[in-house]
Amino acid sequence: MTTMESQCREIVRAERANVLFFDQKRNELYKRVRERRGEAIKCTNISFHCTVAFPSTKGIAAIAVTTVSPVISLNLEEDVRFFPAVDDPAGGLQANRAKKLLAVPMMGRDDKEWKKDFRFPRGSVIAINKLGGDFTSEDIENLTMYSYVAAKVFDAVT
């Protein structure tokens, strides 16, 4: 788990977390992962980091990005918006199955465009399975503040 995901998980007391980035030109959400021996992941660069991409039309994370608003689902088994490959790629095992999810857009700035201060979604921060209860408006506030800081860091290094 990356540091960003660990911090996100701690901030809202969630079982796990996920951070997806948004490629506006390709209209895809993507995640950088470390390649592990024996895994067949298509690498997009020479380093040990590989990129797994998903269409930005699937999943609750995509809804948070495209609507630029937080999304809470407290019953993922019944929620047709939930797309496990995007929203919870680590939850394939029955014991780890996602039950509740909070996704907030990670808002950033596009310095490459002529509108220097125009804010647009850089991705989505997702918290999965709140420990000891349901996600609340306080969790939305905390995760939104964290996602703002994460986007500033992402903007600084890209």
Cα gap 5→104, rounded to integer Å: 13
Cα gap 122→81, rounded to integer Å: 20
Fold adopted by 3-25+57-157: Beta-Lactamase (3.30.450)
Kind and range of the H or E run holding 21: strand 14-23
Helices (H), the chain: 3-12, 60-67, 84-87, 137-157
pLDDT at 119 over 80: no
Q: Where are the domains of the chain?
A: 3-25+57-157
Cα angle 55, 137, 14 (rounded to 5 degrees) comes to 65
Query: Which pLDDT band, with edges at 50, 70 and 90, does 87 fall under?
Result: confident
pLDDT at 92 over 60: no
Task: Quote the tokens at residue 53.
Answer: 């991409």
pTM for this model (two decimals): 0.81
Q: What is the mean pLDDT of the chain?
A: 80
Cα gap 121→119, rounded to integer Å: 7
| pLDDT tens readout for residues 18-52 | 889 888 888 889 886 654 444 444 444 444 455 77
